[in-house]
Amino acid sequence: MIDIQPYRLRLAQEYRWAKGVQTERGGLLVRVQAWGAEGFGESAPPIHMPFDAPALAAETRAALAGIPAEADDFLTRIDHIAPRTRCGIAAAWMSARAAAAGVPLGALLGAAPAHEVPVNGLVTEKTPDAAAARAAALVAEGYRTLKIKCWADRAEDFSRVAAIRAAVPTARLRLDANEAWHQDWALDHVRALARFDLDYVEQPIPSSRPLAEIAAFRAASPVRIALDESATDEASIRAIIAARAADVIILKTQRAGGPDRAARIIAACAEAGVQVTVTVSLESAIGTAVALHVASALPAPIPDCGIPMGRFLAEDIGPMPAVEAGVMRVPPGPGLGLRPSIAAA
């Protein structure tokens, strides 16, 4: 049996990034009952794109009509479904299968998944003082790495990063432009910001630019380059690897289309010596737990991943995995390791 229910969650604070300001989060909760077990997954559309959740749920139910939940080729038979929707279904199916086998979801993705994942803190505050205060608070909580959301105002970016570096002199800093920087000045901007000892810069120019141009940007950059919006699926990531266009791939399980596809991407990047950082798209506890299982299958040492975003949610559909001293523990037990709350499901 496969059950699909829409959800909508209020945010506890604004989520500010280059593509807008969000105040709520919606998606689909997926539950699969098979082999005497149950599993859960989440389908989370892009946070800045409006959508009709009940209509998407009905469309997804129709797409699954006639596909038995216990079919051995189930994952192949849902390949026609859009990636983010497929992600929730595949995660629920795989976590049910893992639960039936008495192993965690991560065991289906890697031979010996880790029990915990180091994570980064996220800074989205707009003013230098507020951003520096947030950074200091996160480091005081035990985060060693901070990801700083940036936008198209170069002076504002510079002053915020300068204030953050002054507040947290030993933290590892990553910048995320989310395609907001223009290709005409982005490289000069990276060179100016490099003085703040950055780990990497994420998607500094738009993914619409030719891959050869992005590769040339990476070759000229004094800071490592991570690609997010350019890394849309396994084919695009293989093309990025072939073009030597990135030092780091930002892997979102939602965008990849499910844990099974994410595992193939991790293997391809490992073979090429390209780092993978697993991140989420402001998902609920269910999607966060799936991302944790995926990250647990990364090659050791696991880099700090962009998974903890629970502080942005005023409500949730399940128990959000906690962060302690910059580490998130993978939910223990078979399958996903946690269940949604009955009221929310």
pLDDT in tens, 56-113: 899 999 999 999 999 999 999 999 999 999 999 999 999 999 999 999 999 999 778 9
Question: Are 229 and 255 spatial neighbours (Cβ–Cβ below 8 Å)?
Answer: no
Identified catalytic residue from 19, 126, 147, 252? 252
Q: Which long-range contacts (CB under 8 A, 24 or more apart) does 214-219 make?
A: 214/240, 214/243, 214/245, 214/246, 215/243, 215/244, 215/245, 217/183, 217/186, 217/187, 218/244, 218/245, 218/246, 218/247, 219/244
Tens of pLDDT along 29-55? 999 999 999 999 999 888 777 888 899
**What whole-number distance in Å separates Cα of residue 131 and Cα of residue 77?**
46
Could you confirm whether domain 116-329 is CATH 3.40.710.10? no
Residue 170 clears pLDDT 90, i.e. is over it: yes
Average pLDDT of the chain to the nearest whole number? 94
pLDDT at residue 229 is higher than 60: yes
CATH 3.20.20.120 positions along the chain are 116-329
pLDDT at 345: 42
Is residue 342's pLDDT more than 70?
no
- Tokens at residue 218, please? 């990476």
Architecture in CATH of 2-102: 2-Layer Sandwich (3.30)
Q: Which residue has the tokens 């998944």?
A: 113
Candidate list 19, 126, 147, 149, residue with the active-site label: 149
337 within 8 A of 104, measured Cβ to Cβ: yes
Active site residue 149: yes
Domain with CATH 3.30.390.10 in the chain: 2-102
Residue with token string 């049910």: 96
Mean pLDDT, residues 171-180? 96
Question: Is residue 203 very low, low, confident or very high in pLDDT (cuts 50, 70, 90)?
Answer: very high
**Cα(45)–Cα(64) distance, rounded to whole angstroms?**
18
Give the integer Cα–Cα distance in Å for 61 and 31. Answer: 12
Res. 227: pLDDT tops 60: yes
Q: Is the dihedral of CA 232, 20, 295, 105 positive or negative?
A: negative
The structure tokens listed for 327 are: 């580490």
Nearest in space to 234 (alpha carbons), one of 211, 258, 217: 258
What does the pLDDT average to over 311-320?
92
Instruction: Kindly state the average pLDDT of the residues 264-272.
Output: 97
Identify which of 173, 175, 176, 171 has the alpha carbon closest to the alpha carbon of residue 139. Answer: 171
CA distance 121 to 41: 24
Tokens representing 107 are 């065991």
User: Which residue, chain included where needed, has tokens 């703040």?
Assistant: 196
pLDDT higher than threshold 50 for residue 344 = no
Confidence of residue 21 (pLDDT cuts 50, 70, 90): confident
Radius of gyration of the chain (CA): 19
Percent of the chain with pLDDT over 70: 98
**pLDDT (0 to 100) of residue 343:** 45
* pLDDT at site 243: 97
Residue 185: is its pLDDT beyond 90?
A: yes
Nearest by Cα to 119 from 280, 245, 342, 320: 280
252 is a catalytic site residue: yes
Cα distances (angstroms) measured from residue 253 to each of 88, 190, 231, 270, 271: 9, 28, 11, 17, 19
